[in-house]
Amino acid sequence: MLRPLAFFSFLLLLSPRLLAAEHAVILQYHHVSDDSPRSTSVTPAQFEKHLSYLKDNNFTVMALPDVIDRISGSQKLPDHTVAITFDDAYTSIYHSAFPLLRKYGYPFTIFVNTEALELSYGQALSWQQLNEMAKAGASIANHGVSHHHLVERNQGEDEQAWLNITRQNILKAEQIISAKTGQDLKLFAWPYGETAPALRKLIGRMNFIGFGQQSGAMGGDSDFTKLPRFPMGGVYSKMNSFITKVNTLPLPVSDKTPDNSLIDDNNTKPTLQLTLAKGDYQKKQLACYGLGKSLAIKWQDAEKTTFQIQSEKSIPLGRSRFNCTAPDQSGRRYYWYSHDWLRLTPEGKALD
């Protein structure tokens, strides 16, 4: 007969999802509807398949504030922890997603741009609907007042004025959310996932946690002013893709150059340099992709800790990404890192 400690160790071997971890996957949804734009939507049937997979495979679905508190406090999480988020507060969250989330007993977060609710935009939730979901365990978080491109500056606007406007935008939205729902979480999702170093430093000084739209798992070494999330919409919400993503781990990037997404028009083929810390990944199987093609990996040192990647084509106007992955030693899960690029128009505008 096994002694208690040995029996517990035996259970862990049988149930690897009980093991403690320092990482989590955050999923980002917009619409859950059959009638909304495909690129930012999952159907209700697809969404239930996602939730069913998490339930059937013993994932821990945790409220986003709890995930952040645990990881920022260097506390362990169950392996295979997932947080579910929605951007833009569309009505389909209430009508389609909420009943399914209640059915499965899963918490979730809605990032709200308050102007849409205040002015009752056509597809926007009401405060009454938000509060009903909040009472059922939803977290209501900040997506700014209006959903405009924060990286854009008005003509003649200097950096300090630009930062002051952004600060007031975020604080005003937080005050409205707090007044309407009683929640003041200081969690902020960048509209379109777009930001810049000065903006990231700003929310850091404001004690906000920021969330982007670049893919990958988050860990203790992630940038807490722009945490990765896996966008779920269109082709990216198919089940084979979903299964791969919710099982991912954060590729341990200890340094990157540039620490910026914005493309300089004098250098439209930028080089991204990443330095990797040690980890359980298969370095020989590291692969990177961008603009629909595999990117050549150029190691910068004999130990193969630092490498560079570059696209042969210019980064186009709008948003793009470089993704790097490497399988773990078992070959069943992937370590993942994504760097997003943003190229503005000659007039300094971002594309929707």
Look at residues 308, 265, 267, 316 and name the one whose alpha carbon lies nearest to residue 291: 316
User: Is the domain of 301 the same as that of 242?
Assistant: no
Residue where one domain finishes, among candidates 226, 248, 270: 248
- Please indicate, yes or no, whether residues 267 and 235 belong to a single structural domain of this protein: no
- The answer to whether residues 140 and 264 belong to one domain is no
- Quick one: 94 and 175 in the same domain? yes
**Average pLDDT over every residue of 220-231:** 96
Q: What is the number of alpha carbons within 13 Å of residue 167 lying toward its C-beta?
A: 14
Distance of CA 144 to the CA centre of its chain: 16
pTM above 0.85, yes or no: yes
Q: Are residues 244 and 259 in the same domain?
A: no
On whether both 110 and 196 belong to a single domain, the answer is yes
Which of 257, 322, 258 is CA-nearest to residue 296? Answer: 322
The answer, yes or no, to whether residue 2 has pLDDT greater than 70, is no
pLDDT at 201 over 80: yes
Number of DSSP helices (H) and strands (E) in the chain, helices first: 10, 22
**Residue-wise pLDDT tens digits, 263-313:** 999 999 999 999 999 999 999 999 999 999 999 999 999 999 999 999 999
Count the domains in the chain. Answer: 2
Give the tens place of pLDDT for each residue, 134-191.
999 999 999 999 999 999 998 889 999 999 999 999 999 999 999 999 999 999 999 9
71 exposed, middle or buried (CB, 10 Å; 0-12, 13-18, 19+)?
buried
68-117 pLDDT, tens digit per residue, is 999 988 889 999 999 999 999 999 999 999 999 999 999 999 999 999 99
One domain for residues 115 and 214: yes
Residue 1 has pLDDT above 90, yes or no: no
Do 130 and 189 fall within a single domain? yes
- Nearest CA to 31 out of 13, 15, 43, 46 is that of 43
In a shared domain, residues 261 and 239: no
State which residues form the domain around 287.
Answer: 255-343
Domain final residue pick, 215, 248, 281: 248
Report the alpha-carbon angle 102-105-108, nearest 5. 80
Tokens, residue 254: 């200890």
